[in-house]
Amino acid sequence: METLFDVLESRLPEQAELKEASLKNDCASTRLFMRQVDAFIKFGLALIPKRRKGYLFEDY
């Protein structure tokens, strides 16, 4: 980004773009899968997952 106008033109990638990019990266696709599983447990089953110690991709 060279100017402040470049910031205004920048955008976040859409969900489909993120999924397509993650297919090329094993680590990214694993993280995406784990987030989807956690979201299903939390919202689909209405359970709050226990905080896991030593979880490799823990960022929440």
pLDDT in tens, 3-60: 665 665 667 667 787 777 777 888 888 888 888 888 888 888 777 656 555 455 555 4
- Quick one: which of 37, 34, 10 has its CA closest to 22? 34
Tokens of 18: 């993120």
Residue located via tokens 């976040």: 12
Structural domain including 43 reads 26-51
Q: Flag whether 9 is in a domain.
A: no
Q: Flag whether 41 is in a domain.
A: yes
* CA atoms of 22 and 29, how far apart (whole Å): 5
pLDDT for the residue numbered 28: 80
pLDDT for the residue numbered 8: 59
What is the Cα 3 distance to its own chain's centre? 29
Q: Flag whether 19 is in a domain.
A: no
Q: Flag whether 58 is in a domain.
A: no
Q: How many domains does the chain have?
A: 1
pTM above the 0.85 mark? no
- Quick one: which of 25, 37, 35 has its CA closest to 57? 35
